[in-house]
């Protein structure tokens, strides 16, 4: 079906002509939508959730857009907290879940001044109409609304057409949109990888031209977006695109440089990430494992270099060399971005220790028992699964380690502790009671101040 949109008029798709069902909307998001609508406010499901539901995917979160102002939202919902400095957002809290509810806002004025980097800098955002709210969003497929009053989809930006043709396209001129917020270039790559879409040619051209602007984005946002490049089951594609369009050169220059040295390096990284994606299709894989796999080929080459040039001519212990190499490769990057410690320390451990799972564990060995009881062991197991996919002919003993983990790992221990009922031992009980009595006597209130009868 083709939808024609007149200027300033949205395309409205009635319930009978689309597939988005209320059954797939989170019940708490529905509660928020219905409550706002019952008080005569506009109440739309917005952003990624509409996109994902129309694609038949499970949304990560459900965001709501409304014409109610933040203070009004707060007065309507007891479980509401206002957050954000520049633009107040309402967080409506249901247990651990948050339904983010935002008042429609418009993009800042086009005549905004440029800062010293030539990037557009704007004043605080201001409230706007639903159309203005759609136009300020990043990509057409992220600019769709679902209206709870009519159950229809409202499209001001051509998102339905792009969903159909599987295209990531900036809303408005990509050169302006990417310069306003360079992180949008990473988001384009992420959505293309995650949804299996293509980025439109105008956006690709603009990304190639303005990739360098990413260097001006805040480190904390970049740190977050680098981790979001580890897309579930599509990390290979997202990193390939980031490399091809010049984003990786700005984000992770040492990795980019190494990849461009020879085609074999690229091949090794894409294969490692392919194995990661294949494993993620079957089981959980943490970001630390993804981080380790991204750098694994580069670390392996560094291990060989370190082992080749030991001063005494003696070759390093391979585990020691692996740790040194992983630290050498990762430390400058993690220091620059201040990645969470748990992420990179675990990645280094995975790079160093996963190989241990190619030999059988010894249940009598204190070292092996210590290893399985270490907090990172579940991630070592995940890493081993990825390495097994990458190197299937190695003698992996993952099942045997897993069995020992079930039997003697922390969960087994905790369960044993919970089930453990101490045997009745009259001697111990008596001793404890006597001790308590004595203590009570000694610690009687004001015992020290009270004069003893003999005094």
**Nearest CB to ligand ATP, comparing residues 86 and 367:** 86
How many residues belong to the site for Mg ion (CB under 5 A)?
2
Min CB(400)–ligand ATP separation in Å: 38
Residue 47 lies near ligand ATP (rule: CB under 6 A): yes
Q: Which does 23 bind (CB under 5 to 8 A by kind): Mg ion, ligand ATP, none?
A: none
Residue 306's closest CA among 292, 322, 295?
322
Q: Which two tokens stand for residue 66?
A: 């409304």
Query: Interacting stretch for ligand ATP, rule CB under 6 A, among 137-145, 256-264, 289-297, 374-382?
Result: 137-145
Residue 138 lies near ligand ATP (rule: CB under 6 A): yes
Residue 137's closest CA among 50, 243, 249, 229?
50
Decide: 63 and 48 in contact? Cβ < 8 Å.
Answer: yes
Among 26, 28, 132, 181, binds ligand ATP (CB under 6 A): 181
Q: Which two tokens stand for residue 74?
A: 């707060």
Query: CA distances (Å), 309 to each of 301, 303, 425, in order?
Result: 13, 10, 63
Catalytic residues: 61, 63, 138
Min CB(48)–ligand ATP separation in Å: 2
Decide: 108 and 123 in contact? Cβ < 8 Å.
Answer: yes
Residue 142 lies near ligand ATP (rule: CB under 6 A): yes
Residue 184 lies near ligand ATP (rule: CB under 6 A): yes
Interatomic CA distance for residues 212 and 119, integer angstroms: 12
Q: Which two tokens stand for residue 257?
A: 């440089």
**Nearest CB to ligand ATP, comparing residues 77 and 139:** 139
How many residues belong to the site for ligand ATP (CB under 6 A)?
10
Give the position of tokens 């009595």. 437
**Nearest CB to ligand ATP, comparing residues 137 and 307:** 137
The residues, ordered by sequence, that sit 6+ positions from 241 with a Cβ below 8 Å of its Cβ are 189, 192, 193, 199, 247
Query: Interacting stretch for ligand ATP, rule CB under 6 A, among 134-142, 202-210, 237-245, 329-337?
Result: 134-142
Min CB(311)–Mg ion separation in Å: 53
Residue 424 main-chain phi, psi, to 5 deg: -65, 120
Q: Which two tokens stand for residue 144?
A: 């769709």
Min CB(212)–ligand ATP separation in Å: 18
Measured from each CB, the residue nearest to Mg ion is 48
Residue 60 lies near ligand ATP (rule: CB under 6 A): yes
Interatomic CA distance for residues 441 and 337, integer angstroms: 59
Interatomic CA distance for residues 152 and 17, integer angstroms: 9
**Nearest CB to Mg ion, comparing residues 48 and 361:** 48
Q: Which does 355 bind (CB under 5 to 8 A by kind): Mg ion, ligand ATP, none?
A: none
Q: What SS3 string covers 29-44?
A: HHHHHHHHHHCCCCEE
**Nearest CB to Mg ion, comparing residues 48 and 409:** 48
Contact set for Mg ion, span 54-83 (CB under 5 A): 61
Query: Interacting stretch for Mg ion, rule CB under 5 A, among 29-37, 43-51, 121-129, 192-200?
Result: 43-51
CA angle, residues 110, 112, 115, in degrees to nearest 5:
135
- Give the chain's radius of gyration (CA, Å): 29
Among 10, 48, 246, 361, binds Mg ion (CB under 5 A): 48
Interatomic CA distance for residues 334 and 351, integer angstroms: 15
Binding residues for Mg ion, rule: CB under 5 A, are 48, 61
Contact positions toward ligand ATP, by CB under 6 A? 47-48, 60, 63, 137-138, 142, 181, 183-184
């Amino acid at each position: 079906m083709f939808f024609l949109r007149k200027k300033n008029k949205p395309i409205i798709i009635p319930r009978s002509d689309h597939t988005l069902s209320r059954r797939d909307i989170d019940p708490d998001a529905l509660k928020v939508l219905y409550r706002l609508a019952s008080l005569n406010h506009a109440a739309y499901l917005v952003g990624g959730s509409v996109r994902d539901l129309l694609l038949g995917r499970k949304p990560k979160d459900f965001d709501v857009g409304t014409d109610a102002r933040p203070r009004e939202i707060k007065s309507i919902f007891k479980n509401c907290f206002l957050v954000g400095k520049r633009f107040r957002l309402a967080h409506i809290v249901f247990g651990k879940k948050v339904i983010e509810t935002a008042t429609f806002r418009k993009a800042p004025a086009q005549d905004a001044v440029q800062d010293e980097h030539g990037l557009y800098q704007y004043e605080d955002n201001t409230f706007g109409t639903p159309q203005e709210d759609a136009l300020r969003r990043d990509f057409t497929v992220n600019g769709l609304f679902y209206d709870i009053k009519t159950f229809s989809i409202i499209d001001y930006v051509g998102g339905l057409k792009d969903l159909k043709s599987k295209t990531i396209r900036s809303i408005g001129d990509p050169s302006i949109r990417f310069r306003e917020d360079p992180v949008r270039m990473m988001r384009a790559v992420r959505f293309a990888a995650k949804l299996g879409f293509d980025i439109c040619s105008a956006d690709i051209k603009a990304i190639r031209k303005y990739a360098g602007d990413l260097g001006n984005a805040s480190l904390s946002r970049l740190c977050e977006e680098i981790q979001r490049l580890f897309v579930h089951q599509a990390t290979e594609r997202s990193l390939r695109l980031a490399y091809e369009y010049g984003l990786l050169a700005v984000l992770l220059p040492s990795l980019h440089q190494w990849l461009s040295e020879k085609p074999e390096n690229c091949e090794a990284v894409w294969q490692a990430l392919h194995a990661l994606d294949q494993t993620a299709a079957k089981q959980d894989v943490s970001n630390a494992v993804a981080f380790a796999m991204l750098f694994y080929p580069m670390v392996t080459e560094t291990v060989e270099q370190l082992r080749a040039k030991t001063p005494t001519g003696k070759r390093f212990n391979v585990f020691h060399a692996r740790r040194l190499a992983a630290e050498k490769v990762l430390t400058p990057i993690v220091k620059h971005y201040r990645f969470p410690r748990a992420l990179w320390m675990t990645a280094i451990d995975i790079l160093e220790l996963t190989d241990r799972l190619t030999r059988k564990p010894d249940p009598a060995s204190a070292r092996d028992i210590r290893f399985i009881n270490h907090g990172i062991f579940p991630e070592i197991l995940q890493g081993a699964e990825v390495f097994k996919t990458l190197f299937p002919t190695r003698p992996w003993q993952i099942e045997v380690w897993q069995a020992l983990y079930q039997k003697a790992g922390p969960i087994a221990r905790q369960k044993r502790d919970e089930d453990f009922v101490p045997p009745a031992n009259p001697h111990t009980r008596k001793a404890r009671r006597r001790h308590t009595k004595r203590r009570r006597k000694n610690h009687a209130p004001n015992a020290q101040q009270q004069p003893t009868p003999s005094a």
